[in-house]
Structure 1
Amino acid sequence: MASRPRVKPAVGVAVRDEETLQFGLHPARAVLLTGLDERARRFVGSLDGTRTLAQAIADSRVDETIATRIIDLLAGRGLLDDVSGPAPLTTLSREERDRFRPDLEALSLPPTVYELPETASGQKSPPPALDGGLKAFAGRQGSYVRIYGAGRIGARVAALLAAAGVGRICVLDPGCARAEDVVPGGLGWEHVGRPREEGAVAVAAAVAPSVTAWAGRAAAGLMDGAAAPHLVVLAPVGAPDPLLAHDLTTLGIPHLLATCAEGCGAVGPLVVPGQSPCLSCIELTRRDRDPGWPAVRAAIRGQSGCDTITSGLVAAQAAGQVLAFLDKRGVDAVGTAEILPDLQWRRRVWPRHPRCRCSRNDQAGLTMVA
């Protein structure tokens, strides 16, 4: 039980009537707590982290049994933090702590209203954390992500991940930045003429000075024994490199493809080697459907038509999937999120192809929905 409880700052509280409080506004999170008298409402209002639980009970003069029940209900639905621990993010400057506060508040929330669901084994799932998102944020700070490609998508992904608290980011793209690479949130005019990877590192460091970010020329190759990142983002300026994807699969490194061309965007699948379809599986599936696909693919390469808005949506979706993976939240490891020209989203699910090397030791197929 929380010793210094606080209703999560990201959750608003409204008085619906004399007996009922509503926590949260969004339908996925809103919770009603009813049957409250004046003292119970006053007790809930005192849960701001400045008092111990005993002090909050004494100040509101609520019955201890009722107070305990309220605490259990709020904690069970992921609405409470315990702020009795050490001060958060003490290694960061005050400015960065303030900037990260909204991310911490969001991290402290469960994905949806939490009701202690039973697992497949019949056991209760563990209750939500009461640490205000600190454990999840510490996990981000200890994570290492590599990004291949620093154009309209990759540079923005680097900035978004740094802004969200990812601690180490390596960007690999020695190509020279051009005017067409300049977009809000990504490379700026000051980066034109310089290697794109250097510009992306500068953008990431500007938004999050505490991030450790470096350009690829200072990084050893993964096949040469370099430290493996927790995840790789493939955001190529041009056609994806099949050899790089093959190396990542061989090394067992999770990777996510993010592309934009012809006014359409695509993010995924997030390849978890040995557990999900790989990029070669997708190519083989396309060949099965269209024998002429390899010739067409070879003739039409590149990323023409990677517009500002769609590329921004792709970058945000990719960064969100990376964070979900690092935070150990549920991620879509078999699907591709496609962003169509009318800004409609479509999800495609790919199978592990039986002829792909990644399936040789595991013949369990996945269902195609397209």
Structure 2
Amino acid sequence: MEGTFQIKEGLGVFWRSAETLQIGLDPRVGVVIEDLTPAEQDLVARLSGPMTAPELDAFARRHRLRPTRVERILSMLERADVLRDGRLAPSSPLSSSCVRIESLDPLGVAIGLTLARSGVGSVVFDDPSPVAASDHPALSRRGAGQRRDRAFLTVLRSAAPGIRTHGEPDAAVVTGSRLIDPRRTYGLCDERTPHLLAWVEEVDACVGPFVEPGAGACAACAYHARCEADGAWANLASQAALARPIGPTPAVRDLASALGARAVMGFLEGAGNTLHDVQWRVPQGAQAPYLVSVPAHPSCGCIGDGFDAPDGA
């Protein structure tokens, strides 16, 4: 027996009675274990912290537990999906994934840091813009004037010491203020790189859709929908793209970044695209976030085998 073993973090081990243990309090993830001897109960309780294989062997010898019985207890915990088993030790989908952050604005930095702290193995970025007082506090605390990407590199390595900053992206994050200019995403669509769109508006922050090129709504779809709803949108959008950026409040920034990072991580882990043709709206104030539909637009031409940059965007 090799490796390190531990009850999954956050579950906890509790006694329902002198003879019965419960791992986790939420019935959706918890499990009740009966018919363990006091020594076996102590073993399970000890597994609330990490135990190496030698430590398990030593515990079994001290308490006169047969190795086969220890293996059966570990197997039972594995089947209940409450044990983090160091014997398996495959690289997780997140740890082998690479995400590109297209812009190191406040929302992009917040999403990038959340992804890194959550186990994404590589985060790549290139933003030579100078740090300003309006940037994410993690950057602005390091002083205005230096390049955003250099400041972010220092912050990133502090937040996730083992993070890599190279690789081919499995997904990207495109953030902005007021809108996302579709031209910023044409290269990602051409390369078939899935990407999250997220931006800050005057009232809401918008998170989504998560674009799978050729299979759903993209930035140009959102642009065409706005043009259809407002005949002056093409003129307004070109001005908005150059206007002074809107700085999100810390609460909106952090909630929007959490929703965006969660969607990216779910996709990378194989759980599907939770923001396919939909978008979170995160309002200012006390109103809860809500989902809105963002369907593919028939004028876009982005659905199918080939991507053509839409006219007029």
Could you give the per-residue CA deviations for residues 29-67 of structure 1, whole angstroms, max 9, x where no partner exists?
Answer: 232234555465345346563457887777666799987
Paired residues of 2:127 and 2:148 also in contact (CA < 8 A)? yes
More relative contact order, 1 or 2 (CA 8 Å, 6+ apart): 2
**Structure 2 partner of 1:280:** 220
Q: What letter corresponds to residue 299 of structure 2 in structure 1?
A: R
Q: Secondary structure at the match of 2:29?
A: coil
- Unaligned 5+ runs, structure 2: 307-313
Assess, with a 3 A threshold, how the Cα gap between structure 1 residues 253 and 38 changes in structure 2: closer, same or farther: same
* Residue 281 of structure 2 is aligned to residue 338 of structure 1: yes
Paired residues of 2:181 and 2:219 also in contact (CA < 8 A)? no
Assess, with a 3 A threshold, how the Cα gap between structure 1 residues 191 and 316 changes in structure 2: closer, same or farther: farther
Could you give the per-residue CA deviations for residues 48-104 of structure 1, whole angstroms, max 9, x where no partner exists?
Answer: 634578877776667999877654442122112333x4xxxxxxxxxxxxxxxxxxx
CA distance in 1, matches of 2:181, 2:124: 18
CA distance in 1, matches of 2:225, 2:268: 29
Structure 1 residue 255 displacement after superposition: 0.8
Assess, with a 3 A threshold, how the Cα gap between structure 1 residues 205 and 76 changes in structure 2: closer, same or farther: same
* Residue 31 of structure 2 is aligned to residue 31 of structure 1: yes
Q: Secondary structure at the match of 1:277?
A: coil
Assess, with a 3 A threshold, how the Cα gap between structure 1 residues 287 and 31 changes in structure 2: closer, same or farther: farther
CA distance in 1, matches of 2:99, 2:60: 46
**Structure 2 partner of 1:354:** 298
Equivalence map 1:183-332=2 (5 Å): 183=137, 186-213=138-165, 228-236=168-176, 239-291=179-231, 293-298=233-238, 300-301=240-241, 302=243, 303-332=245-274
CA distance in 1, matches of 2:293, 2:20: 44
Paired residues of 1:260 and 1:314 also in contact (CA < 8 A)? no
Assess, with a 3 A threshold, how the Cα gap between structure 1 residues 45 and 51 changes in structure 2: closer, same or farther: farther
**Structure 1 partner of 2:91:** 135
Q: RMSD over aligned Cα, in angstroms?
A: 3.5
Q: Secondary structure at the match of 1:166?
A: coil
Assess, with a 3 A threshold, how the Cα gap between structure 1 residues 43 and 311 changes in structure 2: closer, same or farther: closer
**Structure 2 partner of 1:171:** 125
Counterpart among 76, 79, 85 of residue 79 in structure 2: 76
Provide TM-score, normalisation by structure 1. Answer: 0.67
Moved more, 339-348 or 251-260: 339-348
Counterpart among 40, 48, 51 of residue 49 in structure 1: 51
Assess, with a 3 A threshold, how the Cα gap between structure 1 residues 35 and 283 changes in structure 2: closer, same or farther: farther
Q: Secondary structure at the match of 2:220?
A: helix
Q: Secondary structure at the match of 2:51?
A: coil
CA distance in 1, matches of 2:112, 2:100: 9
Question: Number of matched residues?
Answer: 299
Assess, with a 3 A threshold, how the Cα gap between structure 1 residues 40 and 212 changes in structure 2: closer, same or farther: closer
Assess, with a 3 A threshold, how the Cα gap between structure 1 residues 244 and 80 changes in structure 2: closer, same or farther: same
Paired residues of 2:100 and 2:169 also in contact (CA < 8 A)? yes
CA distance in 2, matches of 1:339, 1:154: 16
CA distance in 2, matches of 1:142, 1:279: 27
Assess, with a 3 A threshold, how the Cα gap between structure 1 residues 200 and 177 changes in structure 2: closer, same or farther: same
**Structure 2 partner of 1:155:** 109
Moved more, 32-41 or 154-163: 32-41
Paired residues of 1:263 and 1:306 also in contact (CA < 8 A)? no
Q: Secondary structure at the match of 2:139?
A: coil
Structure 1 residue 339 displacement after superposition: 0.9
Paired residues of 2:182 and 2:223 also in contact (CA < 8 A)? no
Paired residues of 2:110 and 2:253 also in contact (CA < 8 A)? no
Structure 1 residue 12 displacement after superposition: 0.5
Could you give the per-residue CA deviations for residues 298-345 of structure 1, whole angstroms, max 9, x where no partner exists?
Answer: 454554252232122223333333333333334414121221112411
Q: Secondary structure at the match of 1:323?
A: helix
Assess, with a 3 A threshold, how the Cα gap between structure 1 residues 172 and 6 changes in structure 2: closer, same or farther: closer
CA distance in 2, matches of 1:68, 1:209: 34
CA distance in 2, matches of 1:81, 1:308: 34
Paired residues of 2:178 and 2:201 also in contact (CA < 8 A)? no
**Structure 2 partner of 1:114:** none
Structure 1 residue 252 displacement after superposition: 0.3
- Unaligned 5+ runs, structure 1: 86-129, 215-226, 363-370
Moved more, 153-162 or 192-201: 153-162
